[in-house]
């Protein structure tokens, strides 16, 4: 079982020569399961387009998609997810609930005219919607649990756990807004999700000086990401949700800064194609 990153850019896709090393596709992570019949996917940013082509080639018939939230950079790839256009495929979509509008209808806003020429009625695949947070999802020895996290609008984070390892996925998260320092983990946003995790994929969109003008936008500085890992006792930090204005060289400076702050959490930049063994 392993994770594979198909997109780790934040906010908006950023193709071009300045982003070829770490990639320009927005958030999408595949969890490669022991069950070859099922594909588990986290978020549907533009990275999901290439993943979809691979799932078609593999002949995968059941796809379980967990969405952290419905901001476009986590959803816009869904419209170009090839398995949706196969009537033999079932796509189970899990996403944060709202008291007002169903998950299906909220996704439909981005998946219908005038933003897209088609809507769900014309999608041949079978679609099933589930609200989050809900009961943990299990497959083989893997358990996926979710909880609400600090980000504008209903947003969840995920914890993937096997008998031996745990990984937390928190791509859009601003825990500093409600406090990290002088807090026990139960009083930190998503503290239990990331507590003692071997690896945390965490929002580290900004340098500290950039964060000052963007406080409350729902994203973390590199210093907050490092501090968060320290506070919840996580072992390794994967810097995720790269700022679209940051080139590969900028990102490497960001990683240097993270290592300067705390090398012991082994801060590492997420990049497209990266795999993480569970």
Partner 1 sequence: MRTAWRAPALHAVRSPQVAAKQKQLLLILAREFISNLSTPGLIADADGRLVFYNEAAEAVVGRRFAEAGEMPLEQWLEAFEPRESDSSPLPPERRPTRIAFEERRAAHEVYLVTSADGVDREIEVSALPLFAHAEEFVGVVAIFWRR
Position 71 contacts partner 1 (CB under 8 A): no
Position 262 contacts partner 1 (CB under 8 A): no
Position 204 contacts partner 1 (CB under 8 A): no
Position 4 contacts partner 1 (CB under 8 A): no
The SS3 assignment for 264 reads helix
Total residues interacting with partner 1, rule: CB under 8 A = 48
Considering the complex, what minimum distance in angstroms separates the CB of residue 263 from partner 1?
Answer: 11
Query: Can you read off the two tokens belonging to residue 73?
Result: 């950079």
Position 148 contacts partner 1 (CB under 8 A): yes
Rounded alpha-carbon distances, angstroms, from residue 115 to 78, 129, 148, 186? 13, 21, 28, 40
Position 140 contacts partner 1 (CB under 8 A): no
Omega before 231 cis (within 30°)? no
Position 229 contacts partner 1 (CB under 8 A): no
Considering the complex, what minimum distance in angstroms separates the CB of residue 238 from partner 1?
Answer: 9
Position 188 contacts partner 1 (CB under 8 A): yes
The interaxial angle of helices 222-232 and 248-261, nearest 10 deg, is 40
The per-type count for the chain, helices as H runs and strands as E runs, is 6, 14
Q: Is the separation of the CB atoms in 219 and 172 below 8 Å?
A: yes
Query: Can you read off the two tokens belonging to residue 3?
Result: 């994770």
Considering the complex, what minimum distance in angstroms separates the CB of residue 268 from partner 1?
Answer: 5
Which one among 29, 75, 84, 199 touches partner 1, defined by CB under 8 A?
199
Binding piece for partner 1, criterion CB under 8 A, among 45-53, 83-91, 104-112, 158-166: 158-166
Position 139 contacts partner 1 (CB under 8 A): no
Q: Assign residue 126 a region: left if phi > 0, alpha if psi is -120 to 50, beta otherwise?
A: beta
Position 135 contacts partner 1 (CB under 8 A): no
Residue with smaller CB distance to partner 1, 114 or 181: 181
Q: Is the separation of the CB atoms in 28 and 51 below 8 Å?
A: yes
Measure the CA–CA gap between 212 and 183, rounded to whole angstroms: 22
Q: Looking at the DSSP assignment, which residues form a beta bridge with residue 94? A: 66, 130
Which stretches of the chain bind partner 1, using CB under 8 A? Answer: 21-22, 96-99, 131, 145, 147-150, 154, 159, 161-166, 177-179, 185-189, 191-193, 195-199, 235-236, 252, 255, 266, 268-269, 271, 274-277
């Amino acid at each position: 079982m392993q994770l594979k990153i198909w997109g780790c850019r934040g906010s908006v896709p950023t193709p071009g020569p300045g982003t070829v090393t770490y990639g320009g596709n927005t958030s999408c992570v595949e969890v490669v399961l022991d069950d070859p019949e099922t594909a588990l996917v986290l978020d549907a940013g533009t990275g999901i387009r290439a993943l979809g082509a691979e799932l078609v080639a593999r002949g995968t018939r059941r796809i379980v998609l967990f969405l952290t939230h419905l901001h476009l950079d986590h959803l816009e790839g869904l419209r170009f997810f090839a398995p949706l256009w196969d009537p033999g495929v079932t796509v189970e979509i899990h996403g944060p609930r709202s008291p007002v509008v169903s998950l299906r209808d909220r996704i439909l806003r981005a998946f219908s005219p005038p933003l897209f020429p088609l809507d769900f009625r014309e999608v041949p695949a079978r679609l099933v919607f589930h609200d989050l947070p809900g009961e943990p999802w299990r497959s083989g020895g893997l358990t996926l649990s979710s909880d609400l996290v600090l980000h504008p609008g209903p947003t969840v984070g995920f914890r993937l756990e096997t008998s031996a390892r745990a990984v937390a996925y928190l791509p859009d998260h601003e825990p500093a807004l409600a406090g990290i320092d002088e807090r026990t983990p139960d009083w930190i946003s998503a503290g239990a999700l990331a507590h003692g995790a071997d690896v945390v994929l965490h929002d580290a969109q900004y340098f500290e000086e950039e964060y000052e003008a963007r406080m409350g936008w729902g994203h973390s500085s590199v210093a907050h990401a490092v501090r968060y890992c320290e506070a919840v006792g996580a072992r390794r930090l994967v810097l995720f949700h790269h700022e679209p204005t940051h080139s590969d060289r900028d990102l490497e400076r960001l990683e240097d800064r993270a290592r300067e702050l705390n090398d012991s959490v082994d801060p590492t930049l997420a990049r497209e194609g990266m795999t993480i063994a569970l």
